[in-house]
Amino acid sequence: MDLDELLEGKIFLIDKPLDWTSFDIVNKIKWKIKKQFNLKKIKVGHAGTLDPKATGLLIVCVGKATKQIQQIQDASKIYSGEIKLGVETPSYDLETEECNPKEYNHLQIKDIEEAVQDFIGESISQNPPVFSALKKDGKRLYEFARKGIAIEVPSREISIYDFKITNINLPYVEFLVHCSKGTYIRSLAHDFGQSLGVGGYLTKLRREKIGDYDIKDSDNSIII
């Protein structure tokens, strides 16, 4: 790394490991830069959170490149992932225990492949998970959820440009989705299971692209 390059603005493409938080990555990079160059302060921020149970592309901006964070966040995203049908979790992913099991063996491949069409479109209303970092009354939603406090989560408008089923091995369904900023793939997985009448939750998620930035160009040497 070159200090002048960092201060002028550097963008790191990180393949976020499983169970790391986005802030873990930011803090790791910030610590490494400060240690190497004996800096007391430098701007470091990420352009779009990934849940701990998700992997894939996390963009970290350093120095003057932090001015590009909002522009990068506004870009559309591509994710690959896996949904488990026939059961749900309160968090819509692996963070919480399974509940509400239902029979799913009656599902046909065509039923699953056709169901995605109902989720493709612009200005779609989506309810974020109660287990999320969104704020209400100054607190994160997950703080209410973990205490068992029922709260109303306002819906938001998102766009799903493409949603494809890439593999079916019931109860698991693999997919690829191209969506707008602000889309919760956990909510998409939950709603998809609901539309099939059997429930479902997200078991795997990987962010493949943010705008023109691709996971194939990632380099994790800065966090190793």
Mark out the alpha helices in 97-184 (DSSP H runs).
109-115, 141-146
Strand partners, 162: 178
Query: What is d(CA 32, CA 61) in angstroms, rounded to the nearest whole number?
Result: 14
Question: Which residue is it, tokens 């209410």?
Answer: 144
Q: Which residues are catalytic?
A: 51
Query: What is d(CA 61, CA 8) in angstroms, rounded to the nearest whole number?
Result: 11
List, as own/partner pairs, every contact residues 158-163 make where C-beta atoms lie below 8 angstroms and the sequence separation is at least 24, other chains included: 158/124, 158/126, 158/182, 158/183, 159/76, 159/121, 159/122, 159/123, 159/124, 159/183, 160/119, 160/120, 160/121, 160/124, 160/188, 161/76, 161/120, 161/122, 162/120, 163/116, 163/119, 163/120, 163/188
